[in-house]
Chains A and B, each alone.
Chain A
Amino acid sequence: MSRLFEPTRANRLLSCQLIALVLALTTQALATLGQDLSSVQSDQAHLKASVRIVHAQNFSVHEMQTPTGTTIKQYVSSAGTVFAVSWQGAAPDLRQLLGEYFDQYVTAAAHTAHGGRGVHIDNGEFVFESAGHMRFVVGRAFLRSKMPQQVSSDAIR
Chain B
Amino acid sequence: MRFAKPRLLFLVCTLLLASILFACGGSSSSHNNSSIASGSNAQSIVVNSGPAGNYANGVFTTVNVCAPGTSNCQSVSGVLVDTGSFGLRILASALTTVNSALPQQKNSNGDSVLECGQFVDSVLWGPVKNADISMGGQTASAVPIEVVDDSSVPVPSSCSSKGPAEETLQTIGANGILGIGFLATDCGQQCATTGQQNLGFYYNCSGSSCQIAGQSMSQQVQNPVALFPQNNNGVVVQLPATTSSAASITGSLIFGIGTQSDNDVGSAKVYTPDRFGNLSTTFKGISYPSSGFIDSGSNAYFISDSTTTGMPACPSPESGFYCPSSPASFSATISGGSSSTFSFTIGNADQLFSTASDSVFPTLGGPNSGFFDWGLPFFYGRTVFIGIEGRSTPAGPGPFWAF
Chain A positions near chain B (C-beta within 8 angstroms): 48, 67-69, 89-96, 102, 105-106, 109-123, 129-140, 152-154, 157
Other-chain residue from A105, A121, A136 in contact with B276 (beta carbon distance below 8 A): A136
Cβ contacts A to B, 23 pairs, < 8 Å: A68-B190, A68-B196, A106-B164, A112-B121, A112-B317, A114-B54, A115-B54, A115-B56, A115-B80, A116-B320, A117-B302, A118-B302, A118-B366, A118-B375, A122-B316, A129-B368, A129-B369, A130-B121, A132-B373, A134-B118, A135-B187, A135-B188, A154-B307
Nearest-neighbor residue (CB-CB) of A106 within chain B = B164
Q: What chain A residues lie within 8 Å of B80 (beta carbons)?
A: 115
Q: Are A110 and B295 in contact (CB under 8 A)?
A: no
Instruction: Judge if B58 is at the interface, Cβ distance under 8 Å.
Output: yes
* Cβ < 8 Å to A, chain B residues 174-195: 174, 179, 181, 183, 186-188, 190, 195
* Cβ < 8 Å to A, chain B residues 280-336: 293, 295, 297-300, 302, 305, 307, 313, 316-320
Interface size on B, residues (CB 8 A): 65
Instruction: Judge if B70 is at the interface, Cβ distance under 8 Å.
Output: no
* Cβ < 8 Å to A, chain B residues 331-371: 353, 366-371
Q: What chain A residues lie within 8 Å of B318 (beta carbons)?
A: 113-114
Q: Are A133 and B181 in contact (CB under 8 A)?
A: yes
Q: Are B171 and A110 in contact (CB under 8 A)?
A: yes
Known A-B contacts A96-B161, A115-B50, A157-B370; the reply to A134 vs B84 at CB < 8 A is yes
Tell me the interface secondary structure of chain B in the complex: loop
Q: How far is the CA of A89 from the CA of B278 in the complex (A)?
A: 11
Q: Are B293 and A67 in contact (CB under 8 A)?
A: no
Chain B positions near chain A (C-beta within 8 angstroms): 50, 54-58, 80, 84-86, 118-122, 157-158, 160-164, 171, 173-174, 179, 181, 183, 186-188, 190, 195-200, 276-278, 293, 295, 297-300, 302, 305, 307, 313, 316-320, 353, 366-371, 373, 375
Q: Which 8 A-B pairs have the closest CB atoms?
A: A118-B302, A95-B161, A67-B196, A117-B298, A129-B369, A114-B56, A133-B84, A134-B85
What 7 new A-B contacts, CB under 8 Å, besides A95-B157, A109-B122? A117-B84, A117-B121, A117-B297, A120-B367, A120-B368, A131-B369, A153-B307
Q: Are B161 and A94 in contact (CB under 8 A)?
A: yes
Q: What chain B residues lie within 8 Å of A140 (beta carbons)?
A: 369
Q: What chain B residues lie within 8 Å of A121 (beta carbons)?
A: 319-320
Nearest-neighbor residue (CB-CB) of A69 within chain B = B197
Q: What chain B residues lie within 8 Å of A123 (beta carbons)?
A: 316
Q: How far is the CA of A111 from the CA of B120 in the complex (A)?
A: 16
Q: How far is the CA of A135 from the CA of B221 in the complex (A)?
A: 14
Nearest chain B CB to A32's CB is how many angstroms away? 12
Nearest-neighbor residue (CB-CB) of B188 within chain A = A135
Q: What chain B residues lie within 8 Å of A68 (beta carbons)?
A: 190, 196-200
Q: Are B299 and A91 in contact (CB under 8 A)?
A: no
Q: Are B320 and A119 in contact (CB under 8 A)?
A: yes
